[in-house]
Amino acid sequence: MKKIFLFAIPLFIIASAFKGDGVNYKLITSIETKSSHFTTDNLQNFYLIEGNKIVQYNNLGIKQKEFSEVNYGRPGLIEASNPLNILVLYPNFSTVIILDKQLNVLNTIDFRSLGFQEMKTACLNQNNQIWTFDAKENKLKLFDYGGNLIRSSEDVAQVTGKTVTPNFMLCTDKNLYVGDQFNGVFVFDTYGDYHQLFFIKGTRNFQIINEQLLYIKKHQLKVFSLRSFDEIDFSLPDSVDIKQARIEQSRLYLLHKEKMSVYELQ
């Protein structure tokens, strides 16, 4: 019953927004930061990329742990959909590091040794395998923990009819979503077979909750229904200089140019 309750909260909040009902916000914490990117996990922790560091905070905004790796430059992406296997991508060195919940290193995969010149994005699937995009071959590729190739898609340009330059990827239990700020969000199944394209352009990252795709565009949080294809603007308590937003259970997380704010959704 607990799991159902947790996932019912954001669904109710988003449904209320679609119906035009008001959503109340209670500020939990606000911290100064010039973070380039953040993510959350299902325990309501959030993780900021600050320079070369990954900094973990709890749901009250109290700093918990830090991780730093100086050999691969600045992290470009962190994904914590599974807080026991946290993915950190170093795009300039085409390297992925997997961390545990204590931010200790579980594994490091150097994709340069696998022929990758540049990696702009990657994500973990439900089996903690790594999806990424091989720009040289124009294919989606799935690797295991050891860096062994498990699966390779067809040429993405041929099956979609478009030149695809992924800048964000997200895997759910049903689909692999590939974001391209010029074309939109491409949808593939968990085997890498192409299904459809949502014309959601200009986004650099997004989140999916209960068949809703959330993303920031022009300093506004957009909520796009993957079922009805309807879209609304989700009212925010503060949209000034907003860079990124996420909802995790009953929390709203907003990353601004110089601060990070966490609100309780009511």
Q: What is the pLDDT along the chain (266 residues), one digit of tens a residue?
A: 223 233 333 555 555 554 445 678 999 999 999 999 999 999 999 999 999 999 999 989 999 999 999 899 999 999 999 999 999 999 999 999 999 999 999 999 999 999 898 899 999 999 999 999 999 999 999 999 889 999 999 999 999 999 999 999 999 999 999 999 899 999 999 999 999 999 998 888 999 998 899 999 888 899 999 988 988 888 889 989 999 999 998 899 999 999 999 999 87
Domains of the chain, by residue range, sit at 24-265
Q: Which helix (H) or strand (E) holds 3?
A: helix 2-19
The pLDDT score that the predictor gives to residue 208 is: 93
The class that CATH gives domain 24-265 is mainly beta
> By C-alpha distance, which of 229, 196, 233, 237 is closest to 216?
233
Count of CB atoms within 10 A of residue 113's CB?
A: 10
> By C-alpha distance, which of 177, 181, 136 is closest to 157?
136
The Cα–Cα gap between 149 and 238 comes to 44
The pLDDT score that the predictor gives to residue 1 is: 28
Judged by phi (left if over 0) then psi (alpha if -120 to 50, else beta), residue 35 lies in: beta
Interior angle at CA 205, CA 201 and CA 209, nearest 5: 100
The pLDDT score that the predictor gives to residue 23 is: 75
The Cα–Cα gap between 71 and 73 comes to 6
